[in-house]
Amino acid sequence: MTARLRGALRERADQVEPYDLYRGAIDLARRRRRRGRILAAAAAVLAVALTVIAPLNRPGRDLPAAPAAAPGSLPDRVGVPLWGTSEVEDRPIGAASVVFGAPDWWLPGSKDDLALVGAHEDVYGISHDPGVLRYAGEQAVLSPDGTRLATVGSVIDLGTGDHTALPGLGADRVVPQAWSPDGRLLAVTAYTTDGETLTSASLYLVDPGAGTSRVISDLDPRTDRDGYTVAFSRDGGRLAFQSGAIVTVISMDGQVINRFTAADGSHLAGKGAWTPDGFGLTLLRQSRCCDGADYPSRWKLIMVDPATGAERSTPAIRELTDLVAVRLLGWSPTGEAVVTASHPFAGIDVTGFETGGARLGEGHTAYEWIRSTEVWAVGPFTAPRTLLTGPDLHIRSVDVADDVISAGVVRAARPPSGLGPHLRHALLVTIATILTLMVFRLRGRRLGRPRP
């Protein structure tokens, strides 16, 4: 190093302001304290958001509940069940007023799940059955009092969470269709399949409690439609079912009362097809019409005499438009037809009972056609009343307990909101991790460990 370079370095060093060790230590301590306060504030905000802003699936708990013996009420709307909502086997809900389904509630998908809503308050439960196709009201139906859910192959007691297996009936799949009014018998369709193709279908009456069964008739698997096959009369003394174009009315001891042909492609309207007085049977007829309409199709509920098949003029029900599917659930106390009303995706081709056929999951009620489903009360003169609705895309199949329909009570609902249990637990873990790291960091400083 030359004398000139040493002189330049010394001159430069003389220009540097001396470091104040005491002031530097104070500034460092303040910076560390500020970081600690920021971390603590962040943890506090997360905790408040978790416990106050995002409650865990407790909607409706502060609403006055009806007596347990009452038939229950229909919520005027439902919401997406929170991700991680308990299954009814683990946390029974007692009785349900509604069961509904859709395939895309959460990012992992929900095609294997159905949501049930309590009969008296908005407590939610989940029925999960991986790999089994189930649409509410078609392959999963509530008992009249809402205390049991009949699903593919079994019956779930919503008061205990217990499963009762349905008889195998020599079939590949046993699918519930409708309950008798007293809740003792269950009409089921026993399917045999080749892959997903239906090769045969037979109608049975099953007593789930006793484990007994009785065959009623073979059905045409090409035209059989779950949810539209069977209807019990209100007094429980007669059963109507359809195979192909033939509607058969029998007594409960199996005696045939009448057979007739359903004209113009009409079909049994659903589990509520019998009128309350027992003198009428309701068929559902679709008309392709209405050029220029968003969905050029209309549905008409047709009343026939069950003893002759002759069409009746009463009760008259107005036509329903812009719907991809309609299913009759029952009748309100004022005589209105209570139906599911399924809205189509925009721009789809018109579908009907002839759509699909002979394959599981095909038909005009498949989720690929349906954007949303509501429950309506329909009379002859006034516009339909919406009894139950829900978010677009998130309620696409639905069934309602018979006793809830006949009671006619609709309650102001509080669907679940906030974070589901899975996200809630993730937040708890995150907060615990942050707090643990803060504790170890502060302890390290107090022990004089060097800053990393």
Say how many C-beta atoms besides its own lie within 10 A of residue 36's C-beta. Answer: 14
* DSSP character string of 208-244: TTTTEEEEEEEE-TTT--TTSSEEE-TTSSEEEEEET
- d(C-alpha 320, C-alpha 249), whole Å: 27
Query: Is residue 94 pLDDT above 90, yes or no?
Result: yes
What pLDDT is recorded for position 290? 81
Q: What is the C-alpha to C-alpha distance for residues 330 and 403, in angstroms, rounded to an integer?
A: 10
CB neighbourhood size of 75 (10 A): 27
- Looking at 179-188, 302-311, 318-327, 429-438, which range is the least confident one? 429-438
**What was the pLDDT predicted at 237?**
97
d(CA 344, CA 370): 5
Write the DSSP assignment of 366-390 as a string of letters: STTTEEEEEEEEE-SSSPPEEEEB-
Could you tell me which residues are beta bridge partners of residue 190?
174, 202
Instruction: Select the more confidently predicted residue: 444 or 390.
Output: 390
Question: How much is the pTM?
Answer: 0.82
First to last CA, the chain: 37
In this prediction, residue 69 has a pLDDT band, given cuts at 50, 70 and 90, of low
* DSSP for residue 119: S
Q: Which pair of structure tokens corresponds to residue 195?
A: 């892959």
Cα dihedral value 205, 211, 212, 214, nearest 10: 30
Distances, alpha carbon 265 to alpha carbons 77, 105, 185, 366, 420, in Å: 33, 35, 29, 19, 45
Neighbours of 186 (CB within 10 A): 25
pLDDT at 65: 41
pLDDT in tens, 358-368: 777 778 999 99
Could you tell me if 416 and 371 are in contact, meaning their C-beta atoms sit under 8 angstroms apart?
Answer: no
Provide the 3-class DSSP secondary structure of residue 330. strand
Let me know: does 393 contact 367? Beta carbons within 8 Å: no
Q: Answer whether residue 58 shows pLDDT above 70.
A: no
86 and 118 Cβ atoms separated by less than 8 Å: no
Higher pLDDT, 55 or 240: 240
- When the pLDDT of each residue in the chain is averaged and rounded to a whole number, the result is 86
Task: Using the structure block, give the residue that is written with the tokens 């009748």.
Answer: 331
- Checking if the pLDDT of 36 tops 90, the result is no
Q: And the tokens for 182?
A: 């007293």
Res. 245 pLDDT band, cuts 50 70 90: very high
Q: Count CA atoms closer than 13 A to 1's CA, side-chain side.
A: 6
More confident residue, 239 or 46: 239
Q: Are 172 and 191 in contact (CB under 8 A)?
A: yes
Q: 206 is written with which tokens?
A: 């099953």
**8 Å CB contact between 172 and 152:** no
Specify the pLDDT at position 434.
Answer: 64
Reduced to 3 states (helix: H, G, I; strand: E, B; else coil), residue 329 is strand
Angstrom distance (rounded) from CA 194 to CA 199 = 7
b (16+ CB within 10 A) / e for 243-274: beeebbbbeeeeeeebebebeeebbbbbbbbb
Measured at the alpha carbon of residue 241, what is the angle toward residues 235 and 246, in degrees to the nearest 5?
A: 135
Res 448 pLDDT > 60: no
Q: Which residue has the tokens 């007669």?
A: 238
Distance CA 240, CA 280 (A): 11
For residue 54, the model assigns a pLDDT of 44
Residue 45 has pLDDT above 70, yes or no: no
- Burial class from Cβ neighbours inside 10 Å (0-12, 13-18, 19+) for residue 49 reads middle
Specify the range with the lowest mean pLDDT, choosing from 146-155, 326-335, 426-435: 426-435
Q: Which of 186, 220, 192 is nearest to 205 (CA)?
A: 186
Of the spans 45-54, 127-136, 323-332, 344-353, which averages the highest pLDDT?
A: 323-332
3-state helix, strand, coil in the chain (%, to 5): 20, 35, 50
Q: How confident is the model at residue 421 (pLDDT cuts 50, 70, 90)?
A: low
Between CA 68 and CA 227 the distance in angstroms is 29
The H-or-E segment that residue 12 falls in is: helix 3-15
Which comes out higher in pLDDT, residue 262 or 294?
262
